Structure 1
C-alpha cells in the first residue's frame, strides 16, 4: 500500500502522512480533545482517530478495469461509530501539465470505532470503467462527517504505470 493519512475527531490540524524511507507510509499526528455537552457539569471525553491507506492504481481481478482502494480504520473512545466521507479521483498522466481526472467517487460509510476497516473504491464499483494502460495516480480527501465534523485530510498514491 502507498499513501496514508490520519484524521481525528474532534480534530484541529489533521496532516497527511508521507512515505518514509522504506516506502511505507509514516504515521501523522493524532489530536485529542475534550468535548463538553450542553450540561457543563457533564464532560464527555471524545477522541476518534481514523487512518486511511491507499492502494496504488491497478487492474481489478477478472474485470480488467483500473481502480484503487482506500481502506479506513478508526480507533478511539466516546463514540461507537463515525461517518467517514471519502472523495476519490483517479488521475491519468505522468506529469502535472498532462494529468487529467478520468474517474471520481464520493462515498460515505459508517465505520465502527475499534472495529473492522471499511473499503472505498475509486471509481465506484458500478461507476465509470477505465481500461486504457498508462500512468495513473489515486488521490483522496477524507473527512469524519459525524457525529461531529472533523477536519479533512488529503493524500495521493504518486504516479504509477498500469499496463
Structure 2
C-alpha cells in the first residue's frame, strides 16, 4: 500500500540526507536544461511505456523508469518541484538520498517478505539469479527508479509538498 510505502521511503531518504557523506553530492556534474529536454523525457517515457505494454517479457524493467520520464516533465510544466532544478545546480543529493533510502527500505521489505506467507515471488526473465531473499540481486536496482517515481508522483499530486532540500536544513 502506498500509504505506508511512500512515508517509509521519504523518511528513510530524509535520514540518509543527514549523513555527512551525502554532502559530497552537493556540487556534482551539472545537467543543463534545454528546450528539448523535458519533451524528450516525456517522449522517451511514453516510448518505454509502450514497449513495456507491447513486449512485457523483454521490456518489463522499463515500467518504473517510464513513469519517471513521463511525470518529471509534467511537474516542470506545472511549476512543481522536479529533479532538473537540482541537477542544473549540480545538486545530486535528492537523487542519492531517495535512491539509498529506497534501497534500505527494499532490503527490509524483501527480508520480511522472505519469511511471510503468502509472499511475493519474482519471475524476472534474464535476471533470475543471485537471489537475496526472494528478490534477484538485479531486481534491487528497481528500487532506484521506484524512489524517483515516488518523488515525481508526490510532487504531481501534492502541490504543497515540502521540498526535499528543506529537510537538510533541520
Output the TM-score relative to the length of structure 1: 0.22
Q: Relative to total residues, which structure has the larger strand share, 1 or 2?
A: 1
